[in-house]
Structure 1
Amino acid sequence: MFTGIDEVDWASLRHAYGSAEDVPGLLRGLASADAAEREVALDGMYGSVHHQGNVYDSTLACVPFLFALASRAEVPDRGAIVELLVSIGAESTGPPAQAAVRAGAEAFVPLADDPCPGVRRAATGALVRFLDEPARVLELLRRRIAVERDEQVLPTLAAALGLFVRRHPAEAAGAVELLAAQSGPPCSPGMRLAALGQLALGAPERLPADLVPTAVRLLRERSGRRATGPDRADPDTLVGRIRRLRPSDEEGSYLLRTLHRALDDRVADRIALLVGQLGSPDAMDRCNAVRMSAGLFREWRADFSAPVSLLGAQLEPLEDQLRDAAVSVLTELFGLAAPAADELHTLVTARPDLWVHTWERGRPSLGGPLKALARSGDRRAVPVLGQLLAGPVVPAGLGFEVVHLGPAAAPLAPALRHRLGQVPLDSPEAAELAAPLLAALTALKDPAAVPEVLRLLRGAPDGLGAREALVGQAVRALDALGTAARAAAPVLRGLLGTRHAAQAAGALWSAEGDADAVLPSLLRELTHGRGRSARTAAEQLGRLGAAARDALPGLRVLAGSGRVWERTAAAQAWWRIDGDPDPVLPVLRAAWSENPYARGAIAECLAVMGPAGAPLRDLLTAELATARRHTARPGGYGSHDIAQDERLLANCRRALASQ
């Protein structure tokens, strides 16, 4: 197995953490008779030699030894070694790694018939990926399917056939026929599900008309077989219950994820499939469904009331894994979580221990169930939030969630003011503590908060950016309070020569309505301010209306700048001051197409413009007709993406109604 390993100059090779001189020990560890040692060695291979999917010169040097290990029947856990080889040769690793694994691809042929199911599971896909003989590969898969009986291996054969269809379209007909045959009786439910998923990806014309009901039925049959199988724990025992609740059915998750991915924009079918999953009697199926629902909600627009109601049904206090997964999804839905609000309220009432989440480090934060209830806009969250505000420690971020309750949160204003007055101004955390409280009081437009906000402005300490952060937050709050903030006018005037000039000028305008007092500062920031300052100045100038006509030349220049947010703000201000939509609408149209994240502000502006914005009606109607969320993007997501998209849709409807 290790012939020649000592002849490699490992010290001169590199991995993620430097010299690869430890790699021979890792390779030998993979062959150890001790399971713990093998696990440590495999972890080391993924942690350094193949760190985060990367390939180094030491990774390539390992490939021949990994093939040797995988081919020796006496080596335990060879399936994991084959999986490592497949990962090293993946398309994302680059030509050298692919070539290294492809050079040894013949070794995968006997491994596909290996007595060990784990080896067979990994080797079938490797045949398709690395053996450059499509006809031979298809025949090997055909023979393997005819004799395979292991329920864990069969779905991987379907996945290999699906991969074959996508990689070799010219030779795909035979693989499609095999998949079609495996999608019906007498094949097992798991194999049929796997075959349907692969047909959906590569040959959707071969799918049955009743795909979703069929998939739901097969899922339940599969779960029933798993529940009564030999390796299923006694359902009446504590261990059995934990296993039922733990989302450990990775194969089932993969089968349904594949089907969801294949259905893609067939959102109605995906909702029906999700409803079937969430209605399963098997807790693992439901837990998998909860996790899959998050991706559907984040990416697509639809009526999700049915699956959201079923998410609420997963909140029973005894089912911890399901509950936590469902709460995690519901917190991202904001107003869309309303169909589950009753269940959220029941959970919040029954489990005060879930009101606050305590972390190993840092301040406690608002617990998921209460956060989801507040974000849904349900006024029943108000009394509980009031109790927390009266407690010894206010959970981090509580005020940010108050914002979503609207006027219903008005009874919390006195407690919010009291807490704001207790923020220690000499603390480096002052801005962090004040921000959520200020956000809540700003949303409530509480005029009685002016003294506490002025305290922040006057007493914010210098250094470490604490003063700058606090001042910015406080000025925004005063701006929202309007004429109630007249007492703050002297302090705001003192800020007109600082980096907060544009925001302070806006707050001063809100408090006093004197354009002459703020126009010079805003014109200066519009012309000479950088980045955000110029944009803020444009936004504030638009509020002055015709009184800011002297700003039109500067706004025209900014509307032609290279930064989309500045162009958008300048165009909106230009229209509010001048009232002529003709030069403004082309700027807004271009920004709409250039940056989807600017659409919310543009739609809001069009709602204010009314009939003057009618030439952009096509953008609004097209957005409302688009099934995919404007925040959907590959490779990541934000916790407020759904709320931002729903706000855009509401603004589009409002703008159309105003025209």
Structure 2
Amino acid sequence: MFAGIDEVDWASMEHAYGPADDVPALLAGLASADPVQRERALDGMYGAVHHQGDVYACTLACIPFLFELVADPSVAERGSIVELLTSIGGIELDEDDEEELDEDEIEGAANYAMAAAAVCAGAEVFVGLLADADRGVRLAAPLALATLHADPPRVLALLRKRLPAEPDEEVRLALVEAAGRLALRHDTVAEAAAHWLSRLAMQEYAPGLRLAALAQLARCAPGALPVDIVPRVADLLRALRTAYPPSDPATRAAARAAAEAAPREGAHAPTLIGQLRALQAAEEAGRSAPWAADLLRTLHGALGDRVEDRVALLADQLCSPDEAQRLDAVRMSGGLIRAWRGSYDEVVRLLGELLGEPDLRLRDAAGGLLSEVQRLAAPAADALAARVAVTHNSWVREWQYGQRSLDPALRALANIGDPRALPALGSVLERPGVPRDLGHAVAGLGPAALPLAGALRRKLAGVSAADSSEDGGAAPLLAALASLRADEATPEVLRVLREPFASHLRSSALGALGSFGPGARGAVEEVEALMRRSPAREAVDAADALYSVSGDVDTVLPVLIDALMEEEALAVRAASRVLGRLGARAAVAVPRLRALLDHDEIWVRVDAALALCEISGLSARTWQVLLDGWTRQPYVRVRVADALTRTGVAAAGSGAARTLRAELSSVRRHNARDGAFGFGTSDIAADERLLTLCRQALLGGGGRG
């Protein structure tokens, strides 16, 4: 095996972590009889040789040897090697990507192209793997063929021929998924593949296969979906529960606990691959048909902006007698609400009902999502209040490294401004420690939280600089006091400025003082002194607070204008924001702000344009910059819409009005992102605020605030 491997100059090549002279050992490890060695070798291939999908010269050099491994039936776990080859050869650059490549990226793009050509040239080997004795190989081969083989009609014919002969349910689903992939990648077989999928969805096949066919149809031929897609899928889910009866919750919990606690060979040096496999095993433990969740996720993703259909389907899933299906439905509900605008009252109400579930994972998943959707959680208010009432000893969760957070149900109840959260938050303040999300909860509760001001002051007075951090200690308390505008806490906040707290806490303290307004006049002298002795970025924060407390434009204006001349973009942006607050009184800064409209950084340009909008109105040039920011950086849209609302410049027929109306007509949330880390906990609230601001701006705005 591996004839000629020693003739490759591996040492002259590199991978993600340096010289590639360890690659031959990784390839040998993939062929090892020891499962621990195989896992480490596979982890090394993905971690270094094919790091985050990259293709290096050493990755290309591996391809012939990987094919040699795949073709040898004595090699164990060849399915994982098929998946690796599929990943290496399946990366495609579209025309837009190619046009945007800079000189440093050209070599990488060439490697992708050469990898695709090399793997496709050897893809005939995958044909023989469709009927391999190894189930894992049969599971990986269909997608490899659909992704890499140069003859799509032949591949479709092979998939259709193999389906009735394949005994394994999950492999049959992989054959159907491969047909969908073919249809998406090759117009020449799209119609034939969709026709076959339609037949599989309509005829008397097993419910899992029919569900898989519907999911792939939704991806590649949505027009071919039956009009009664929701009741049809609901019927299939019921049929699946009959064909694969779910085990009782206690049995499932025991199976999951056993999977999580199971010792694994090589656990003394765990790999990322091994950890992912362990997590998957724990997730699937006790499930009768674990693949059903993937089918439903595929279907939901393919249905995209068909929000009403997806809501109806989720309502059915959330009422499933199968606990695992309910948990999946909560997670899928999060994916829908985060990405798409719509009416979610029914889904939210059903999420509230899950707060009484005995399973902690299910309760926490429902509560966490309800806290994330913030004001949209109002239909679940009574259920949240009931949950908070019975968790009086568990209102605070303690995590690794001593971090604390509020129970999700309590946080969600506070986020909707429900005063029934007040007693629990008061009790939390009497206990040791500070939950890191306390400030958000108090802000959500709004004026109803004013009775907490005294307890917040006492808590802040007891926090030391040594034990305070960004995720606990003073930060949440300062945020809470700022949201309440509790100017009686001025002495406690000033202590943070006087003592050696971290710089981000000094900024938070200045923000709190600014929120207190004239009620914090006793802090003017110290804040002004801090402004004069601080570097530009901190000086701007102090100037902002000083203006809010004293209204002294003459004192803060020179500091802000000087900050506009700084090289540090953050200082320039902060100064622009404060100058915008000054409005027409900052007219002297207009020339410099106009010059910033041509700055290299888009964020600097947008902040300068927003300031000009506040100071001197919306000009054609200013709107051009704001529109560019609106298009290229969706996260500026809330601030732009806010400025248009308060300045009242989005007159009917203007370019601004057209942009706002286009935003209101979009079903997709402006800040929706894809991927594992594709959302922030405030994204939904930010998008809902954007919609409100767009409507207000089109109605004429609310004047300057």
Q: TM-score range by the shorter chain?
A: 0.7 to 0.9
Q: 1:622 to 1:492 in 2, by over 3 A?
A: same
Match of 2:512 in 1: 477
1:531-556 CA distance string (max 9 Å, x none): 34444444444444554444444444
Determine if the alignment matches structure 1 residue 145 to structure 2 residue 163.
yes
Match of 1:177 in 2: 195
**Contact 2:345–2:376, Cα closer than 8 Å, also in 1:** yes
* Match for residue 314 of structure 1 among 343, 351, 354: 354
Deviation of 1:627 (Å): 1.0
**Contact 1:620–1:656, Cα closer than 8 Å, also in 2:** yes
Partners in 2 of 1:304 and 1:417 — Cα distance? Answer: 38
| Matching residue's letter, 2:418 | D
Partners in 1 of 2:648 and 2:255 — Cα distance? Answer: 62
**Contact 1:460–1:470, Cα closer than 8 Å, also in 2:** no
SS in 2 for 1:413: helix
* Match for residue 292 of structure 2 among 252, 260, 272: 252
Deviation of 1:631 (Å): 0.8
**Contact 1:10–1:20, Cα closer than 8 Å, also in 2:** yes
Deviation of 1:166 (Å): 2.2
**Contact 2:249–2:323, Cα closer than 8 Å, also in 1:** no
Partners in 1 of 2:544 and 2:613 — Cα distance? Answer: 18
Deviation of 1:302 (Å): 0.7
Determine if the alignment matches structure 1 residue 451 to structure 2 residue 491.
yes
Determine if the alignment matches structure 1 residue 641 to structure 2 residue 641.
no
Determine if the alignment matches structure 1 residue 295 to structure 2 residue 338.
no
| Matching residue's letter, 2:177 | A
Partners in 2 of 1:74 and 1:601 — Cα distance? Answer: 62
Match of 2:429 in 1: 389
Deviation of 1:481 (Å): 1.0
1:307-345 CA distance string (max 9 Å, x none): 222222333352123223333433321212223333333
Determine if the alignment matches structure 1 residue 486 to structure 2 residue 521.
yes
* Match for residue 239 of structure 2 among 207, 215, 221: 221
In structure 1, the gaps of 5 or more residues are: none
What does residue range 232-631 of structure 1 map to in structure 2 within 5 Å? 239=254, 246=283, 250-352=290-392, 354-425=394-465, 429=469, 433-460=473-500, 466=502, 468-497=503-532, 498=534, 499=536, 500-526=538-564, 531-558=569-596, 564-571=602-609, 573-574=611-612, 576-577=614-615, 588-589=626-627, 591-610=629-648, 613-614=651-652, 615=654, 616-631=656-671
1:410-441 CA distance string (max 9 Å, x none): 11111111122122246674896322211111
| Matching residue's letter, 1:204 | P
Partners in 1 of 2:5 and 2:615 — Cα distance? Answer: 77
Q: 1:159 to 1:362 in 2, by over 3 A?
A: same
Deviation of 1:237 (Å): 7.5
Deviation of 1:71 (Å): 3.4
Q: 1:190 to 1:533 in 2, by over 3 A?
A: same
**Contact 1:245–1:319, Cα closer than 8 Å, also in 2:** no
Instruction: Choose 601-610 or 541-550, whichever is displaced more.
Output: 541-550
Partners in 2 of 1:257 and 1:618 — Cα distance? Answer: 35
Partners in 1 of 2:149 and 2:607 — Cα distance? Answer: 57
Match of 1:186 in 2: 204
Q: 1:512 to 1:118 in 2, by over 3 A?
A: closer
Match of 1:67 in 2: 67
Deviation of 1:10 (Å): 5.7
Q: 1:255 to 1:78 in 2, by over 3 A?
A: same
| Matching residue's letter, 2:634 | P
**Contact 1:333–1:376, Cα closer than 8 Å, also in 2:** no
Partners in 2 of 1:431 and 1:112 — Cα distance? Answer: 52
Instruction: Choose 343-352 or 441-450, whichever is displaced more.
Output: 343-352
SS in 1 for 2:355: coil
SS in 1 for 2:311: helix
**Contact 2:469–2:475, Cα closer than 8 Å, also in 1:** no
**Contact 2:638–2:689, Cα closer than 8 Å, also in 1:** yes
Deviation of 1:559 (Å): 5.4
Partners in 1 of 2:308 and 2:515 — Cα distance? Answer: 42
RMSD: 3.4
Q: 1:353 to 1:152 in 2, by over 3 A?
A: farther
Instruction: Choose 127-136 or 291-300, whichever is displaced more.
Output: 127-136
Match of 1:211 in 2: 229
Q: 1:147 to 1:391 in 2, by over 3 A?
A: same
**Contact 1:435–1:473, Cα closer than 8 Å, also in 2:** yes
Deviation of 1:457 (Å): 2.2
Q: 1:298 to 1:270 in 2, by over 3 A?
A: same
What does residue range 84-95 of structure 1 map to in structure 2 within 5 Å? 84-91=84-91, 94-95=112-113
Match of 2:95 in 1: none
Partners in 1 of 2:553 and 2:462 — Cα distance? Answer: 35
Q: TM-score, normalised by structure 1?
A: 0.88
Instruction: Choose 140-149 or 184-193, whichever is displaced more.
Output: 140-149
Identity across the alignment (%): 48
Partners in 2 of 1:488 and 1:188 — Cα distance? Answer: 73
What does residue range 52-63 of structure 1 map to in structure 2 within 5 Å? 52-63=52-63
Instruction: Choose 481-490 or 59-68, whichever is displaced more.
Output: 59-68
Deviation of 1:349 (Å): 3.2
Partners in 2 of 1:520 and 1:63 — Cα distance? Answer: 64
SS in 1 for 2:341: coil
SS in 2 for 1:280: coil
Deviation of 1:23 (Å): 4.8
Instruction: Choose 91-100 or 21-30, whichever is displaced more.
Output: 21-30
Q: 1:158 to 1:572 in 2, by over 3 A?
A: closer
SS in 1 for 2:202: coil
Deviation of 1:65 (Å): 4.1
Match of 2:217 in 1: 199
Instruction: Choose 293-302 or 67-76, whichever is displaced more.
Output: 67-76
**Contact 1:431–1:469, Cα closer than 8 Å, also in 2:** no
Deviation of 1:484 (Å): 0.9
Instruction: Choose 580-589 or 411-420, whichever is displaced more.
Output: 580-589
Partners in 1 of 2:500 and 2:172 — Cα distance? Answer: 66
Instruction: Choose 574-583 or 129-138, whichever is displaced more.
Output: 574-583
**Contact 1:541–1:548, Cα closer than 8 Å, also in 2:** yes
Match of 1:656 in 2: 698
Partners in 2 of 1:308 and 1:130 — Cα distance? Answer: 43
**Contact 2:487–2:513, Cα closer than 8 Å, also in 1:** no
Deviation of 1:47 (Å): 3.7
Partners in 2 of 1:640 and 1:523 — Cα distance? Answer: 32
Q: 1:454 to 1:40 in 2, by over 3 A?
A: closer
Match of 1:81 in 2: 81
Instruction: Choose 111-120 or 28-37, whichever is displaced more.
Output: 28-37
Instruction: Choose 419-428 or 178-187, whichever is displaced more.
Output: 419-428
SS in 1 for 2:336: helix
| Matching residue's letter, 1:54 | D
Deviation of 1:561 (Å): 5.0
